[in-house]
C-alpha cells in the first residue's frame, strides 16, 4: 500500500471540510480512503473498501460515528472494528473488520498517515501559531507525478519565465546576472533562499518533508504565506492543496480574491509541469542540471533515499485488499 509514499504524514485537506455524519472520500498514493467523524467527533480514516465484497464504504452513510456499507449494511467504527453484520448474528465480527489508518487534525488541517504505526505527530509549521491568522484553501488536480509537482514548487529560476506577469515579474530584468540558490537543511526539511550577484533577494521558501512547500512573502509588518501540499492521488495525478495564510485582510469575503490569485499562479505552471518526461523525476544523471538546480536535486535525493520503493503493509489482524476474510 501507498507505493513510494509510505509511512509519512500528509495534509489531505481542511479539518472543517470533514462534516459530522458525512463520509469524505479521497485517493492518496493509489489507495481509496474514506474519512468520517467517529462517535467522539474525532477524525477517522478507513481503507475505502468493505472487507465483505470490496465496495466503496464512502457510498454508504455515517450514523452516530459508525460508517455503514451501502451493499449489505456492515458497519464499522473509526478503528475499523465491525459493529454489525445484518442477518448474521453469529458472525465472528472480530475477524471481519475494515482497515483503519491513522488520521488527525492539527492547525485546522486534516492529516493522514500513509502507514499503520506512526512514531510521531505531524510536523506543523510555526506559521499556524501566529495570532489572528486567516486561512483559506482550495485544491486543483494536475495530470503529473507528484515529484514533478513538488520540485517545481522548490524551483526559483523558473519564476521570470513561467510567472513573468505575476510573482516572477521582478526577476525579469535580472536574468543575465548570476543567481545563487541556498539550501539550508532543517529538521523538517530545508529553507531555500537566493541572491542575485551577491545581493540577497527578499522572501524565502521552505520544504517540509515529504510534500509541502511554504512560501514566505511577508509585506512589511505583516504575515503572508502560501503553502502548497502536493498530494499524490496515483502515479499520474496530483492534488495540490493551496493554502493562503495572512494576518491582514482577514474577512472571509476576501477569500475569493486570494483563491483567484493562487489559481492564476497554479494555472501558469500546470501545462508546463504536465508536459515533463519522464513523468516521475529520474536519477540526476538522466537530465541536464546546473548550479541553480541545487534545491530540486536535493529533493530528488531525499525522494530516492526515503520514499522511492517504500510501501506499507497492513497489520496481521486486518483484512488486506485482495485477501479472503476469515470464515464466519
Which grid coordinates are listed for 277? Answer: 518526461
- pLDDT (tens digit, 9 = 90+) per residue, 52-84? 999 999 999 999 999 999 999 999 999 999 999
- pLDDT (tens digit, 9 = 90+) per residue, 131-172? 999 999 999 999 999 999 999 999 989 988 998 888 777 777
What pLDDT score was predicted for residue 317?
A: 57
pTM: 0.91
Overall average pLDDT of the 170-190 stretch:
91
pLDDT for residue 323 is more than 90: no
The burial class, CB within 10 Å (0-12 / 13-18 / 19+), for 185 is exposed
Of the candidate ranges 13-22, 103-112, 195-204, 313-322, the one whose mean pLDDT is the lowest? 313-322
Overall average pLDDT of the 117-130 stretch:
92
Give the model's confidence band at 328: pLDDT under 50 very low, under 70 low, under 90 confident, else very high. Answer: very low
Overall average pLDDT of the 236-246 stretch:
96
**Cell 529538521 sits on residue:** 187
Nearest alpha-carbon partner for 264 in 158, 172, 166, 133:
166
pLDDT for residue 308 is more than 90: yes
What pLDDT score was predicted for residue 80?
A: 96
**% of the chain residues with pLDDT over 90:** 84
Which sign does the torsion angle of CA 125, 129, 131, 137 carry? positive
Nearest alpha-carbon partner for 294 in 186, 191, 146:
191
Nearest alpha-carbon partner for 260 in 144, 161, 140, 108:
140
What pLDDT score was predicted for residue 289?
A: 94
What pLDDT score was predicted for residue 284?
A: 84
Overall average pLDDT of the 8-17 stretch:
96
What pLDDT score was predicted for residue 235?
A: 93
Of the candidate ranges 183-187, 203-207, 238-242, 321-325, the one whose mean pLDDT is the lowest? 321-325
The span from the CA of 205 to the CA of 190, in Å, is 9
What pLDDT score was predicted for residue 324?
A: 44
Q: What are the φ and ψ backbone dihedral angles of 169, each rounded to 5 degrees? A: -60, -40
Amino acid at each position: 500500500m501507498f507505493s513510494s509514499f509510505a509511512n509519512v504524514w500528509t495534509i489531505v485537506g481542511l479539518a472543517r471540510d470533514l462534516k459530522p455524519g458525512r463520509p469524505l472520500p479521497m485517493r492518496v498514493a493509489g489507495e481509496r480512503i474514506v474519512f468520517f467523524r467517529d462517535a467522539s467527533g474525532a477524525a477517522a480514516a478507513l481503507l475505502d473498501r468493505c472487507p465483505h465484497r470490496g465496495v466503496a464504504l464512502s457510498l454508504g452513510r455515517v450514523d452516530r460515528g459508525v460508517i455503514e456499507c451501502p451493499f449489505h449494511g456492515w458497519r464499522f467504527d473509526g478503528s475499523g472494528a465491525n459493529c454489525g453484520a445484518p442477518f448474521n448474528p453469529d458472525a465472528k465480527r472480530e475477524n471481519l473488520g475494515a482497515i483503519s489508518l491513522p488520521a488527525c487534525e492539527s492547525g485546522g488541517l486534516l492529516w493522514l498517515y500513509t502507514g499503520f504505526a506512526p512514531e510521531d505527530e505531524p510536523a506543523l509549521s510555526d506559521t499556524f501559531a501566529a495570532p489572528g491568522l486567516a486561512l483559506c484553501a482550495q485544491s486543483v488536480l494536475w495530470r503529473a507525478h507528484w515529484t514533478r509537482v513538488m520540485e517545481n514548487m522548490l524551483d526559483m529560476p523558473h519564476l521570470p519565465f513561467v510567472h513573468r506577469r505575476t510573482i516572477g515579474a521582478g526577476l525579469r530584468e535580472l536574468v543575465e546576472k548570476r543567481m545563487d540558490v541556498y539550501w539550508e537543511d532543517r529538521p523538517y526539511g530545508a529553507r531555500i533562499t537566493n541572491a542575485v550577484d551577491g545581493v540577497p533577494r527578499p522572501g524565502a521558501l521552505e520544504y517540509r518533508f515529504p510534500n509541502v512547500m511554504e512560501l514566505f512573502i511577508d509585506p512589511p509588518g505583516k504575515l503572508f504565506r502560501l503553502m502548497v501540499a502536493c498530494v499524490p492521488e496515483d502515479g499520474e495525478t496530483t492534488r495540490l492543496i493551496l493554502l493562503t495564510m495572512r494576518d491582514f485582510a482577514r474577512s472571509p469575503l476576501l477569500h475569493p480574491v486570494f483563491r483567484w490569485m493562487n489559481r492564476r499562479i497554479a494555472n501558469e505552471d500546470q501545462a508546463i509541469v504536465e508536459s515533463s518526461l519522464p513523468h516521475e523525476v529520474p536519477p540526476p544523471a538522466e537530465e541536464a542540471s546546473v548550479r541553480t538546480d541545487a534545491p530540486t536535486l536535493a529533493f530528488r535525493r531525499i525522494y530516492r533515499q526515503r520514499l522511492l520503493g517504500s510501501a506499507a503493509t497492513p497489520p496481521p489482524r486486518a483484512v488486506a485488499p485482495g485477501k479472503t476474510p476469515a470464515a464466519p
